[in-house]
Amino acid sequence: MRHTISVLVENKFGVLTRVAGLFSGRGYNIDTLNVAPTQHANTSRMTIVTRGDDATVDQIVKQLNKLVNALEVHDFRESEFIDRELVLVRVAVNTKTRAEIMQMTDIFRAKIVDVQPKSLTIEITGDESKLDKFLRLMETFGVLELTRTGKIALARK
């Protein structure tokens, strides 16, 4: 089962290394990891997606809470959070497919951020299922390059 864990940490040197070391040292895998500053310059939020049963994730949360620089740790359950991800994808186009791709981009509320003679670069945000559906459609045209941010999440309060 996939779990989303949010960790508010002090924005200090070596914190990311300690968190990653906690996972690797215990044989846990990180599916996605996103780290960015918060509204306060001295803190950052880490959003970690990992797989495991409830007991495994409970152990991870306990270990994260023990880290000196961890201020808050939340294991989000379904409907307790809002999540988004960003994808940039470069898709092959020709004169016949350009209009169709542009129409699909509009349907998914994505943006074309770069136009080249033989490709379009598209930016799309949303939850994981929306992005996966869009990318499956783009595969039929030819995905030339792709990058994803990984999930970010905030608690519903």
Instruction: Give domain limits for the chain.
Output: 2-77, 82-155
* SS3 (DSSP) at 52: coil
Domains 2-77 and 82-155 share a fold: yes
Q: Which CATH class is domain 82-155?
A: alpha beta
Which residues are within 8 A (CB) of 16 and not within 5 positions of it... i.e. 6 or more apart? Answer: 35, 46
User: Model-level pTM greater than 0.75?
Assistant: yes
Q: Is the pLDDT reported for residue 79 higher than 80?
A: no
Mean pLDDT of 39-45: 94
* SS3 (DSSP) at 125: strand
pLDDT of residue 66: 93
DSSP-derived pairing of the beta strands 111-116 and 81-92? unpaired
- Helix intervals (H) in 38-147: 54-66, 98-107, 128-139
DSSP state of 22: H
Mean pLDDT of 6-35: 92
CATH of domain 2-77: 3.30.70.260
pLDDT of residue 26: 85
Q: 77 falls in which pLDDT band (50, 70, 90)?
A: confident
| Measured distance CA(125)–CA(105) in Å, rounded | 11
Q: 3 falls in which pLDDT band (50, 70, 90)?
A: very high
Which range among 24-38, 88-102, 118-132 shows the weakest confidence by mean pLDDT?
24-38
